[in-house]
Structures are given as structure tokens and as C-alpha cells.
Structure 1
């Protein structure tokens, strides 16, 4: 039997670690504490940077004596700290959602056994200098995050051991160091028994991935403090409270000391409290005292995510001669959290959580996420109207919370406990896991308790339920009783203060708003209203945003706003967890699970973000921004320009934005103005009049009014002019009589039947139909061929992640059947068979060609009617009744690459889908073909635009094609610089070729993308293309000649059909 080590003993989680405390740093003066970052303190020394490094696959091969001063490390590599060693070339990252890596035993009798033959060990070593100034001080070594377990030596002497990888490990190394040069050695294990509680849906990285630093303190040290407040019943005045722990590390006799809290407004202006917050105390040698200080504060500025007002708290320790011993500083926001009437209250007002889950991830640095990336993430949240974040599923870097305090984001802080793959076994009520569960909870709460952004503690994620969670809550309550608790795994809502579930579909979620019996998850039994009647209803994960997803998102917000007890939720999730790679052609792309040869893996299931790994928005981000916006415009009388404006902010007036309106005709601005004096208070609704003037009505034109709200001035999180919210409405002016194409102006057409084709032509253009397939196979303009591949009915799309998700979750024995069912419309595309083609000359200027085709899934034939005019207009009408639900109903062709300039009138400018389009305004947009696509991490159907009236494809001489909708349903269209087969077979974006043609999709619609459940479409019925229903749509293709200066003049008439 192999030896059992510390790192597979769940009863041994640390050795010689200092007790946890809040994030702090000593200063010597009030001025320096107020005006400096922690890293600028003379008592701080960073150990980030180059370390010597050695890596082995198993513990038996590690350099056992490397910590000894005389051990030769001259041939070792160097590695940057912080970093994940897998991204520095040592071992491979593993991406897994639920399955534990193979090194972790899943046999119940063996838990917590780690495979000794594959448990990589990283040995780190470097020197550091202790200055003479620190000689009489206590010296601490702080690791902000090391995964998964590690030992530490100083100058060859063992200091201690730690596991619990997402909170700090700190050691008092005073007795181990000396003034001058010292050596530190750290031995890190990839897996430990702690890994059983770290089965989160993420990359399994390891190493010293957060900051390492030294700090020194005086012998009398403010070791920990908690600053909090309690408001009066009117939420005007507050009692400011301090709970502090002061420790004497020396052996001096008992002596008198003083602690004082001073409050400063921004800019260093003293803010008076009702009484001085000072407390005298005595402290003996090698002892610790707990001190409370409080005072009333009159009408302070409050903190909320909308108005994140922060004060500076300075805490000073003085001796009996009033000499400063130590000064500590923290930011503080006056904020009170309560749960009342099934709502979450901030400062007495109910809030709505417009949230997102966020993994710590950087495409180049993994979990060693730079500060600049954290700040970018917070700024993006503010810019896209996200007001809350869940730190899924572990405590984040301390700096992230400071940014949320500063910018204004509500944070659900989550404990580093997830045993998803073994949650039916551990930790539950198993006493061998109690110590580590409680330790992880305490260390999170102690570290983060001073942050006003944190409104709730979460006990973990997908880890079952039992006594260990009850004990965790009790332990946390002893530290902080000012916040509530969340735990989705508490299905009977016994200890959680909110009724929280994952991926509950809108219809089922609404039942809780109505206080009905509900079954929130497929594996949870029904829950009655008696159980949750006093609990806010929350979705800790919803709207799974994997790839081309986030359909029907507005439905959730409608429910949140309709029912007071439905307090919002957190989208899954913020950013795609792709990792950057450069291929041999120096093309950058992102990789995902399995691309490193990692097993087990869950492929691209790590890419669920509304933002790409580099933080460019996925199309779903624009939907989030629109649905989450806090200003709503509703029409009162469209013709008269009367509208109501609802300020949905809870604490904030609208005096920080300008109202900018644009009145357009077919995308052209005909009137616009700005309203600057929006004095609309929080929650208020007022009516305004936009002075639009009725234009000279033109038959074919549409008139829209778009009202936007833009920042008046630069904000911390966005520049002046940033659009905070917008709405758009069509103005229903009485239409004028339709203008038809003058038949006298139409050139004559020639019709010719050949052996294999039917040819329709005149000197300006020529059109050829295949008599075998019934398809347009050639279109020439002035003897110049446009078409590369024929115009063909199309029922298939390159599968999106939600189309394929059912295949991922299907049992192995059913996968062939599921795959065959998924691909049936793909096969239908290939099996189209022409049954009839006919043609007739309506007159010498108009020819009509009708085709009928059969496919196996059709209840009726596909009937396509082509009416060709001598003017170069081709009117196409297509009808079909399917036997089963369709994926897509449209037509596809390829044209030459030179026609790569796109302009359209419809929703834009980004990609939209049938059930995800409210975030895009109607307008006229233009882009080159290469910018019409969207590069999802894993290639899939992309680039669609909805509600399209017309679009053009032209070359640089402005020759090309106009495609115009002739259907009430309007068009969907997309263009790609590659083929659908390329899109379907490529696994990464660098595998997509740039073809010498453009693929053009002209669609009625494709089914919605869904997204209620992880990687499962669950398309809502109104966004399906249903079987046994007849579908028809029509459009015209118009030849554009370079002599035409304004393409819009081609839209002035209808065809005389």
C-alpha cells in the first residue's frame, strides 16, 4: 500500500498558517495611508517576478532537498510568478465541466486518494532581501492564491503547508528570516484532497497564480478589522461600527494603547462623526484583544451600484504617548442589506439583479488575471448595463472587489466548494470534510467582509447538501451578520435566504412569482409556496450563452419586472474561456477542451460567454445591454410624438444623460435634436413630446423615431456620448398609393429553351435555369458572370452549440440515433429532386418559370416561382409545407468574391436571430463581407441579420445585386467569405478558409437559437418553424449597374405582378 501524504488527508489543511483577516497593509502616517496604494507602503515587498522553477510529473521524481541552501538550481528554468505553469510550457491544462481529472480517485472507499504516478509537482525558488528597517518588526509572507497545495521553506527551514487554493495563505516568518539575503522555496502539488472540492466548470490550472508578497508590522499590530454600519428606520443617519483585533507579538508587559477611526470624504476632507471614534485599551504580551468602536453619522452619502459613494476609513493605533504605531486604511460605503417581503433591499429599497456569472479567465494568462483585465471586465459590465456579478465559483482576486466597490457592481461572493461529479457523496454531512468546508468559508468572509459591493455570501456551487453547509453558515454568521446567504443546492430552502435555482425556464419561473407549486429543475421535486413564501426568487444561473445563443432573453426580464419577489439572476456567463494559440501561419485563434490532448474534457463547453476571450462582444452582449437597460420609452401617441419615459434606476436621477432623438425615413435622418434637462427621479414616469414634423409621405418609405440616452459627460466607466439606453418605434403615417414599374420603360426579354437550360436574356443581363435541378445556375451582367454556385432552396444551418448540445448529453447508445435526427434536414438538402419545371412568356417583357421539387421531409413540394422582367428584376416566390419542424427555410447561392461590399436596411449592425434581435435597431448599415461574420470560438452558424427590407452586394464599381423583401415577414440574410461546409467542419476559427467567392443566404427565417438550458436550444414555440404549416416568402433580385448613383432609387417602385 502506498504512503499517504498530507495532500491526500482532508483532515490536514494547513500548518503554521496565520489566522485569516481582511485585506490590509500597515502605513506609518495618515497621509501616506490616504494617498497610497497598498503596494506603495514601505512595509510591503513584492515577490512577483522571476523564480527558478522545476517541474516533474509525479511526487517521487521531485527534487526532495531543493529547499536546502546548498542545492544546485543553476540548470533550472525560470518562470514568472504569478502564472499558471501549464501556460508556461509545463504539463497541459485540462478543461472539464463535471468529470474529475483521472488523478483523483472516484471510488468511494478510496476518497481522498490522489494518483501518485501522475500528480505534477512544481518547485519554486528565489532570493529576497530583508532590509534593516524591518529588523524589529514582525514579517509575514502572503500567498494570495496557490493551486492546489504547497509547502514552504525559508532559508532551508520548513515554515508550513497550505491548501484551499482560492483564498490567501499567510505565514509569520519572523523567526525564519534575517536581515540581508534570504531564500524562499515553495513546493506546489497540482492535485490534493482539496481538489475534491474544486470541481468547478473551468480550466484545471495550477501553480502560484496570484500575488506573493512580504509585509511587516509593528509588534503591536491591528491584525484584523471589520467596518460596517446600521441605518435608522428612515435610512438617513447611520451608526458606523468598527470591530478590531489588535495583537501584541512582543513580550513587553501590559501597556495602554489607543485605537481611533477617522472618516474622510473623497479628496481627503474630514467627515465629522457625532462623537470621536476612539477607544483606549490595555494589551499584555503575546496576547490579542477584540475592540468595538461606534458613533452616529449624520446623513452620509449612500453606496449602491448606481451611486457607489465611497469614504476613506483611517484606523490609527497609538501608544500611551499618543505616538502613531500603525495606520490602516480601507474604502467604505454606507450600505445596508436586508431581506424583507421576499425582496432584497439595499438601503431600504428593493433591487433587481441584472447579473452575470464570471470566471476569472484571461486568454493569455489563464487564472493569473492581470489587474487591467479585471478593470476592463468591470467597465464592460457597467457599459452593458450589468449591475451584479456572481464570483462563480470561488473567491476572486482581492482587487476585483475593490473595482466593484469603486465602479458600482453588486457582488455575490461564492465559497470555493464544488464537488459536482461527486456531490451525492461529498461533502454533505461527512465529518471528515467539515474542517475544510468551514475553513474555506471563514477565510472568504474574513478577507472580503469590508467590501460594500458584496451583498450576499454563497456557500458554494453544485456540491450537494448536508450538515457541513449548515456549519459553514453558522461559522460565517459569527463573523458577519449584515448579509444574507445563498446556496442553490439547498433545495428545501432550509438555510438559504433566497430561493435560488439554475436554468428554470420562464414559464416555470413565473409560477414562483405567482406563489404556485413549482418544479424549478428537472431533478428537483416540486416545491410549494409555503416553503418559499418569504424568500426572494432568484436565478443564480440562467440564459446559457454558449456560442450563438441567448434566445428569448427578454421573457425573463418581463417576469422579473412583473413580480416583486422575482429579484433577477445571473447569466451564464461573462466570458468565453478560450486560450490563445498562434498557428504555423501566424494566425491567432482560441482553443478549448481537448485541444491539448487533455482527458477527460468537455470540448468547447467552456465557451459560454457574452464576450469573447479577448473581451470583444459576442452578439448576445448587445441583447443583454438592451434588455438590462434602466430607461424605458413607451408610446402614448406615435403620430403626435407623445411618449412616456420610465426611469428604472432605483437610486439615480436621469440628469446624467441627454435624450437624443432621430427621425428617419428609410434610414435617412430627416429631423433630430437633443433634450438636455431630463429631471426624472428614480422610479418616476413622465410624459414628453418629441416635436416630429410629418414629412411629405412617400409610398415606399418607412418612418422610425429612435430615442437614445447618452452620457452628458465622461463617467468613470464610459466616455461622454456612450449610449445608456434606447428605444425605437415606427411612426404609422398614412401610406400613399403604391408606385409600380412603368411597363413601357421595360426592355424586351428573350426566352430560349436549350438542351440543359432555359435561358432568359436581353443585352443587359442573362439568366440560365438548369432543367435538371430547376435552379438558377448563371446570372450575367453585361456579359460578366456573377454566380459561382446556383441559387438553391436551403433547410440547414451550420449547427450552433445549442443544436449540438443534445448530442453531448445523450447516452452513448443513443448518440447515433440523436445524430441522425439532428442531421435529417442536412440530408434533405442533398435529397432535393426536381419533379417539374415549366415556363411561360407573360408578354414580350416578362417571363415566368415555375419549379416543383420534392424532399423526404416535405408534406408538399417546394414550389418556386421566378418572374423575370426585362428591367433586370427577378421576383422569386417560394412555398413549402414541412412534415416536421424546420431548422431553416431559405435559399443559398455563391457569387464572385469581388461583390464583397454589403449594405442593408434592417436590424444591425451586429448579428441578430429570430429570438434574439431586440438589441439591434432598424437602420441602414454597411460593412465588407469579412466584417459581416462573427467568429465564435468554435465556428457555427453566424452573421444573420433579421427584419431586412433590402440588401445589396456590390463590387468597388458599385455593380452588383439588390435583394429586396416582398413579404410581410421581411428577410433574414447572411453572407460569408467561406462555404457552409467550411463552417460546419471547422473546429477553430483559423481553420476557416477565405474562399474566392461569397456565400449568400436569403432566408425566410431560421429557427431561434434558444438558451434556457445549457447547450440545449429548447426553442420557444413562437420561434420555431413548425411542421404541417405552410410557409411562403418572396423577394426580388435586381441587377445594379454602375451608372446608378443612388441604389435607393431602385426601391421607388413595386413590380407589376
Structure 2
């Protein structure tokens, strides 16, 4: 950069080798559809912050650890840590000389307020960087919460209570802006979830915009944070499993690109209390590369669970090394029951079920009844939250109408298979939402 005017040039590619790893079912647009920010930082600044909040076994104390990476260390510069509760009361203050790698420990809070769907209690850690003149040059706030997600005796527990997932899969969508959603869209989606007893969202099938995770922290929405990976076109041929050229599979050629997606989602969102599960991706069969993704998450973050659905296709080889949970999509209630009645190794959840296309959602009660029958069944994520349809001006009615696959002379297409939501593309609730609200409300 030089003093005065600089030029920033951006080149956008429609296709790349990464396209093989991004076979999600959605409209495909070109361009930049998320905010891009240029942020000026002081010469001495915090490059990375990792906050780790843990609970004692009896939940009576909470410990906070912060690891910092700083750039351009200067003599006599300091970093000050201040922790406050939701009311703004200062609970702890520490300061350290700036170093390239820094560690704040010894922060113990008595009787911490726990975070969950009903009481999303948050604390705030602020980091203040002072230069050698004792001038404040950087201020970073980080919200955090105390909660414990774990598997005990074959069941998933959150804060020592059985976890029930009343979930939905959610694509980012706006009928006028496509995949470029606004903060107002996100806030409306949170409100719809809260109104209808939806307590969890799977970010299908890619990392969402950054504000979404903050909103879920604040609202108590449990997140299954998914990496940007889907390759069903490489192993589903004419409706059959045929993984002869499965991507990424066990091919070392794809390992670096695939693992980069795990690094991306972890490093971007690691400090968000709302994330209970890391999800390796969607419909990408299974193989050694996914096994390495799981190993990465386990090494970086052993206190969260890892999810992946495709393990069942090669259970003998990968059952113990790819996913903490038995996950299926569109298994019938009888199929779920068959697994849980035959010495199940893992707790069970459905990462996709109740495909809500057309006049659907009539069988939800059969799945919800499984929650009463099997304590190691934990619910699932409805497919899906919002129709993906685009406003198009209709010359005959002189109105904007919603259009989807096949309406644009685009052949081949899956027609209305982008319209599976429990809300229409304009976020109007469908009749199916009455079923969702009623049955999810019974187990909320």
C-alpha cells in the first residue's frame, strides 16, 4: 500500500478444482455474495484469539483459558484481559507483556451461569492492547459461555441433561438476492425458530455468514457447524451407490483441499458457544480423507462432538474413526428402531429427515415417538428450513412470482427439489410448520 489512492483488483472464477467438492443442491451463482471488509490494524496487534471455557464435573466452577498470537511485538507493550458478566460487572482482570504467543490462565469463576437453549447466558472477555506509551491501540470483545457437550453411557448430554435436537437444515437464501442474505434475514430466521420450538440448525452445507453464529450464541440456538464439502455426484450414479471415483475418498490428491475446509470452519468459528457439533460435510461417501478431517477436529477441539453421516456405507472400516454419532438421512422410524434395538455403539440422530416438498410433514409424530422409546435417540434436522426460489417478474400477472428449477428452460433440472422448506422463500410459514411447532414444542 502507498499513501494516497490504491487499487484493489479481484478476479472471480466460476469453476475451479474446488468445484468437485461443492456439489450442494442449490442455485449456482457467480460473483461475491458476502461482505468484504478491509480492516486497518495497528502495527502491534492480536492476530488470533482462541478462548476455551470449561466446567468442573459438578458444574460449580468454570475455567477460562485464552491463547493469543500477536504480531510485531514491541517492548513495554501490554495486553489486558477483562472478563465481565452479562450485567457488565467485572469478574477478572489480568495483564501480560505482549509476546508472539501468549497464554492467559488461572481465570476461575464460581457458580457460572450455564448456556443452553432456554437460558443462553453469555459472558464477555475483552482484550486491550496498549503500546509502549500506554496508549490503547486495539480493543477486541469476545462473547463466550459455559456449557458441556459429552457422550456418556451411549447418550449425548448437554450440561448433564439429555440433549434433544429439534432441528432444521438451513440454506442461506433470499428470493431477491439469492445466496446473499442480510442481517435482517438472519434475525427473522432466528425469530421463526424460537417461535416454533426449533432449537438447532445444521449449516447445510457450508460455513454461514459470520453474524449468524453470534446471533445463535445470543439466542441459544444449537449449531451443527458444517464444512463446505459435498460430492454426491461422484458416487451416486443413476440413483445407485457406485463409488469407483469417489471424491475425496482415500485419494491423497484431494487431502490438502479437503482438510483446508476443516481448518477454515474451525479457525473462523472456534470461539462460538452455540457450536455443539463440527460436521465434516454432506453426502461425500466416506474414506481416509474424511478420517483425517475427523482427526483434525479431535486434535484441535476434543470438547465438541464430530458428526458425519456416510459412515454406514463402510461401517467396518470407519465406524470408530469418522463420527462420534450414528447419523443417517431419511431412515424410516423402523430403520432407526432396528439400529437402536441391536446393541448400538453410538447415540443416534437424523441429520436429514421429513423431506418437506409439497404436502409433507405428516409423519413427524412417528419420529418424535422414538424419543420416548429410546433415550439414545436424539432427534434430528428437518430438510429443510426455506424454499430456494427466485422472484421473477411475470408479464401476464404483472407481479413478482417465485420460480425454481425448470422454470428457466434449464435442462436437466430437479424441478421443485429446491423447494423443500417449512417456510416459503419469502419466509412465510407453510402449513407444515404447524406440525413442526406442535411436536417440537412437546420435546422442547
Match of 2:292 among 456, 471, 474: 471
Q: Using CA pairs below 8 Å that are at least 6 residues apart, which structure has the higher relative contact order?
A: 2
Whose strand proportion is higher, 1 or 2?
Answer: 1
CA RMSD of aligned residues (A): 1.7
* Structure 2 match to 1:546: 357
The 3-state SS of whatever aligns with 2:265 is helix
Counting only pairs closer than 5 Å after superposition, residues 790-801 of structure 1 correspond to structure 2 as none
State the shift of 1:379 in Å.
0.7
Deviation track 1:835-883 (CA, whole Å, cap 9, x = no partner) reads: xxxxxxxxxxxxxxxxxxxxxxxxxxxxxxxxxxxxxxxxxxxxxxxxx
* Structure 2 match to 1:888: none
State the shift of 1:591 in Å.
0.7
The question of whether the paired residues in 1 share the 8 Å contact of 2:297 and 2:306 is answered with no
The question of whether the paired residues in 2 share the 8 Å contact of 1:414 and 1:460 is answered with yes
* Structure 1 match to 2:436: 624
Query: CA–CA distance in 1 between the matches of 2:432 and 2:26?
Result: 21
Query: CA–CA distance in 2 between the matches of 1:279 and 1:191?
Result: 47
* Structure 2 match to 1:242: 66
1:258 aligns with 2:83: no
* Structure 2 match to 1:601: 413
Query: CA–CA distance in 2 between the matches of 1:626 and 1:434?
Result: 44
TM-score by structure 1 length? Answer: 0.40
* Structure 1 match to 2:158: 346
Query: CA–CA distance in 2 between the matches of 1:179 and 1:343?
Result: 60
Query: CA–CA distance in 2 between the matches of 1:298 and 1:179?
Result: 51
Counting only pairs closer than 5 Å after superposition, residues 180-199 of structure 1 correspond to structure 2 as 180-199=4-23
The question of whether the paired residues in 1 share the 8 Å contact of 2:205 and 2:227 is answered with yes
The question of whether the paired residues in 2 share the 8 Å contact of 1:240 and 1:295 is answered with yes
The question of whether the paired residues in 2 share the 8 Å contact of 1:303 and 1:310 is answered with yes
Query: CA–CA distance in 2 between the matches of 1:320 and 1:478?
Result: 37
* Structure 2 match to 1:205: 29
State the shift of 1:330 in Å.
1.6
Which runs of 5 or more residues in structure 1 are unaligned? 1-176, 517-528, 631-647, 650-1057
Query: CA–CA distance in 1 between the matches of 2:125 and 2:411?
Result: 50
Match of 2:304 among 463, 483, 489: 483
Deviation track 1:52-77 (CA, whole Å, cap 9, x = no partner) reads: xxxxxxxxxxxxxxxxxxxxxxxxxx
Q: Relative to structure 1, is the Cα distance of residues 260 and 344 closer, same or farther in structure 2, using a 3 angstrom cutoff?
A: farther
The question of whether the paired residues in 2 share the 8 Å contact of 1:314 and 1:329 is answered with yes
Aligned pair count reads 428
Query: CA–CA distance in 1 between the matches of 2:191 and 2:361?
Result: 22
Query: CA–CA distance in 1 between the matches of 2:79 and 2:106?
Result: 12
Deviation track 1:370-423 (CA, whole Å, cap 9, x = no partner) reads: 110111011101101000010011110111111111111100000001111004
State the shift of 1:319 in Å.
4.0
The question of whether the paired residues in 2 share the 8 Å contact of 1:578 and 1:591 is answered with yes
* Structure 2 match to 1:576: 387
Deviation track 1:916-956 (CA, whole Å, cap 9, x = no partner) reads: xxxxxxxxxxxxxxxxxxxxxxxxxxxxxxxxxxxxxxxxx
The question of whether the paired residues in 2 share the 8 Å contact of 1:343 and 1:350 is answered with yes
1:460 aligns with 2:281: yes
Counting only pairs closer than 5 Å after superposition, residues 1024-1043 of structure 1 correspond to structure 2 as none
Counting only pairs closer than 5 Å after superposition, residues 368-379 of structure 1 correspond to structure 2 as 368-379=180-191
State the shift of 1:322 in Å.
4.4
The 3-state SS of whatever aligns with 1:203 is coil
The 3-state SS of whatever aligns with 1:187 is coil
Query: CA–CA distance in 2 between the matches of 1:466 and 1:247?
Result: 38
Which runs of 5 or more residues in structure 2 are unaligned? 236-242
The 3-state SS of whatever aligns with 1:181 is coil
The 3-state SS of whatever aligns with 2:255 is helix
Match of 2:257 among 433, 436, 439: 436
Q: Relative to structure 1, is the Cα distance of residues 544 and 295 closer, same or farther in structure 2, using a 3 angstrom cutoff?
A: same
Deviates more, 1:614-623 or 1:487-496: 487-496
* Structure 1 match to 2:329: 502
Query: CA–CA distance in 1 between the matches of 2:95 and 2:305?
Result: 30
The 3-state SS of whatever aligns with 2:437 is helix
State the shift of 1:261 in Å.
2.1
Query: CA–CA distance in 1 between the matches of 2:95 and 2:374?
Result: 46
Deviates more, 1:446-455 or 1:329-338: 329-338
State the shift of 1:291 in Å.
2.8
* Structure 2 match to 1:314: 126
State the shift of 1:312 in Å.
1.8
Counting only pairs closer than 5 Å after superposition, residues 74-93 of structure 1 correspond to structure 2 as none
Query: CA–CA distance in 2 between the matches of 1:410 and 1:378?
Result: 11
Query: CA–CA distance in 1 between the matches of 2:432 and 2:18?
Result: 36
* Structure 2 match to 1:280: 97
